[in-house]
Structure 1
């Protein structure tokens, strides 16, 4: 985490804050900043070559996203999620994504939503065939974001932003052995059920998809400090 210092006179403070936010978000998600790590404004400002203001803004933004935890009189930490936290994240995801599916299926945008989701599943399958597990994982989460976006509900989107960030924290405990062979197929089944107007079938597959993810996460949660592999996100 040693970016080249930039001139404060040429780059707006907001840009500095965005750069710091992006770098910290990446370091939290990829495991460079391990669960339980405490973040220091002074140390981060020195590392990034910026003042404490942009760092403070970045930390506050990541706390709002759910990627950091602010504890009064103690500081800011990368959260350590318990088994109950993992279950709760997926309870919230099932509620939000089920609501999104119902909203899509009751609207005139089902075909458009299907096309967008189908494109992502196709890309996931190609990435899986190529052994590009990092892309599989990214496309997996992108599928679920696209699903909620297709609901056209601003409130669902807003609530989902925090939940998907917390999902990334959950996935940080996984290893290469946790990649699921049926991942692409499950996304395909959700997509196809929506295309055929089978709302309950789509919801059932989504529920099974999340149940399997929770089982895997709880099994692998013990080594919380472990570094994730390039397959780490291919389970959500």
Structure 2
């Protein structure tokens, strides 16, 4: 061990002498002096906390470094403004997401208050004939179509079968399918009409239902009396959309809310 240590000491001494010999001519070199001065100034600008640190600090990502022309305050105000706009004028994509997410929680309780009807029978038949992976979609579509019957409202002026034009100026869904059972079971071509004009086309009854619901916000229309409770429930309790001047929910709607939740 002593021999090894002596050899290492000798090599270390030789390297030191070699470096001193090579550096000696550079002491008076102007380029070396400039680099030394620059390094000395950089060290003097460091805070005591930085100079004593022996490891590089992980820099926290900042909004200023990511967004040109923005600071933390303006970005926060921008996000707040976007949230306010979305609350007043929600996009169809957000509405679809909210309805799909919140509707799932009440589906198990929806069939209890629904009285026996041709539509309920069609829904049950479509569910029995479906594959396991299709049941979730059938439940969602069936729940939307059965919702008006829970509030004792009719869906005939909102969902129209065949080529007959809707007899209402309010948003309505016109299904091109063979029947409601077909529309419940799979995707089917449908259009949304407002005042007899085709506004958009959809590939499923649930997509058309939500698109027609969105038309009330796009066109700033009041809900019709024959579907007011259903649409109010969708807006306030499923899509979580509120506006200035909104009154408290009617007693009948509140009772259904408590029943479903």
TM-score band by shorter chain is under 0.3
- TM-score relative to the length of structure 2: 0.23
- TM-score relative to the length of structure 1: 0.25
Q: Which has the larger radius of gyration?
A: 2
Q: Which has the higher contact order (CA 8 A, sep 6+)?
A: 1
